[in-house]
Amino acid sequence: MKTKPRVLLLSATSGAGHVRAAQALEKAFLARGDCAVEHIDALQHVSKLFQRVYDKAYISMVQRAPELMGVLYERTDRPWLHRRRRLALDRLNTAPMIRLLKRIQPDLCVATHFLPAEIIAWLIAKRKLRAHNAIVVTDYGVHAMWLCRTVDRYYLAIDEAAEYLARIGVPREKLRVTGIPIDPLFATPVNRSDARKQLGLDAEATVILVSAGGYGIGPVEQLVEDLLALERPWQIAAIAGKSDRTRKRLEELAKEAGNLRSGAPRLCPVGFTTEMDKYMAAADLMVGKAGGLTTSEALARALPMALIEPIPGQEERNADHLLEAGAAIRCNNLAAAAWKIAALSDDSSRLTRMRDAARSLGRPGAAAAIAEDAMRLLD
């Protein structure tokens, strides 16, 4: 019996998006049934110090010094420069991952983070690994950190990203515009009324979905307070993510907020959830951060977005693409965000245009498209 080819998916827990993209791909590859699939978190196979820097420092910088993150993002975005220096540092700290890759000897590697992508490319170049190498970029733009020479495929969110890579020297035959991979659940249509019924949301009210992201990052509590203070007849579903403190504060606010005329609660606090596909299907507008995965999920559900204070760097670039396409508005000042959201909700024709723009940008089948194309590399 012929052995199924081995597909190794590599993510990293520096932000939730890289892992979620790999999980979506894992489902898509498994659904095919023609390969053996394994997903590993690269940061579980590096030195402890390196792991803390990548994971903890990322969250800390986002929360406490986003401007510094923006400076670092821009200064390191120099295509093809400093690769050897960065590779030397990464090799020094990723010896366990290198040993793991040599032991597994996969036929196909698909990386949703630039750290493992770089190590895989180096191993292939040195002929220490005989595998095809695919990189899935999880934002709308492509930072220089994603660039490697020994790559068979780049899977990209938008046409502009492909054109950029082609212009800086990546062969066009290696580029595929597929969208960012999201859970295949988003490719299944969900009726808005059914979603609201399943989630216990009001059947008729305007539903504002406020999302803090997987790690509970962002000014969620203040934003929800400001939205409630306007006393509009809308219902707010607020996702706290993994932050217990945020969830508990939202639960306190919900008790104070009372109910709509229908008797439904004005505020519905939600902790970490695996039902974002339903919440997005139920909502009229999503308010949150401009991460590549979250916004791709919203686009798949044709959901207009209000982006709150995008983090300098990749989130700002993501926001720019969504604004240009007409699928989002941007709220740079938290103090005025609720007012701006209310003004948008009053403009039904603009919301309809934004929903149409989001629908045209959505790529709900991205994970399956990537899996299909990547498997062709093995033919």
Cβ neighbours of residue 302 closer than 8 Å, sequence gap 6 or more: 355, 356, 358, 359, 362
Is the confidence at residue 376, as pLDDT, over 80?
yes
Task: Kindly report which listed range (61-75, 187-201, 293-307) carries the lowest average pLDDT score.
Answer: 61-75
Tokens found for residue 72: 């670092």
Given this model, what pLDDT does residue 75 score?
A: 83
Pick the residue with more confidence: 85 or 324? 324
For 87-125, the pLDDT digits (tens) are 655 666 677 888 888 888 999 999 999 888 988 898 898
Per-residue three-class SS string for 174-200: HEEECCCCCCHHHHCCCCHHHHHHHHC
Given this model, what pLDDT does residue 4 score?
A: 92
Is the confidence at residue 215, as pLDDT, over 60?
no
Mean pLDDT of 256-269: 95
Is the confidence at residue 217, as pLDDT, over 60?
no
Locus of tokens 């986003």: 66
Share of the chain above pLDDT 90, in %: 66
Is the confidence at residue 253, as pLDDT, over 60?
yes
Amino acid at residue number 305: M
**265: DSSP letter:** B
pTM, entire model? 0.91
The torsion angles phi and psi of 68, rounded to 5 degrees, stand at: -65, -40
Is the confidence at residue 264, as pLDDT, over 70?
yes
Is the confidence at residue 50, as pLDDT, over 90?
no
Is the confidence at residue 202, as pLDDT, over 90?
yes
Longest dimension (CA), the chain: 68
The torsion angles phi and psi of 303, rounded to 5 degrees, stand at: -105, 115
153-169 in b/e form (b: 16+ CB < 10 A) is: bbbbbbeebbebbeeee
Locus of tokens 């999201």: 182
Pick the residue with more confidence: 306 or 59? 306
Report the C-alpha dihedral over residues 52, 54, 60, 62, rounded to 10 degrees.
Answer: -170
Pick the residue with more confidence: 78 or 57? 78
Burial of 48 (0-12, 13-18, 19+ CB in 10 A): exposed
Q: Which residues, listed in sequence order, are joined to residue 108 by a DSSP beta bridge?
A: 7, 132
Task: Kindly report which listed range (48-52, 53-57, 138-142) carries the lowest average pLDDT score.
Answer: 53-57
CA 114 to mean position of chain CA atoms: 14
Is the confidence at residue 161, as pLDDT, over 60?
yes
Q: Comparing C-alpha atoms, which of 184, 188, 248, 190 is closest to residue 216?
A: 248
Is the confidence at residue 55, as pLDDT, over 80?
no
Going from the C-alpha of 145 to that of each of 17, 120, 190, 355, the distances in angstroms are 16, 14, 37, 33
pLDDT band at 82, cuts 50/70/90?
low
Pick the residue with more confidence: 90 or 282? 282
Given this model, what pLDDT does residue 36 score?
A: 95
Given this model, what pLDDT does residue 97 score?
A: 83
Going from the C-alpha of 279 to that of each of 35, 89, 213, the distances in angstroms are 32, 42, 13
pLDDT band at 20, cuts 50/70/90?
very high
Tokens found for residue 85: 């220096």
Tell me the average pLDDT of the chain: 90
As a whole number of angstroms, the distance between CA 108 and CA 101 comes to: 11
Given this model, what pLDDT does residue 236 score?
A: 97
The torsion angles phi and psi of 271, rounded to 5 degrees, stand at: -80, -150
Tokens found for residue 188: 């299944």
Given this model, what pLDDT does residue 115 score?
A: 85
Per-residue three-class SS string for 205-223: CEEEEEECCCCCCCCHHHH
Given this model, what pLDDT does residue 67 score?
A: 74
Is the confidence at residue 7, as pLDDT, over 90?
yes
Domains, in order of start, for the chain: 6-182+364-376 (3.40.50.2000), 189-361 (3.40.50.2000)
- Per-residue DSSP letters for 26-78? HHHHHHH-SSEEEEEEGGGGS-HHHHHHHHHHHHHHHHH-HHHHHHHHHHH--
Cα atoms found within 13 Å of the Cα of residue 93, Cβ hemisphere only:
21
Is the confidence at residue 174, as pLDDT, over 90?
yes
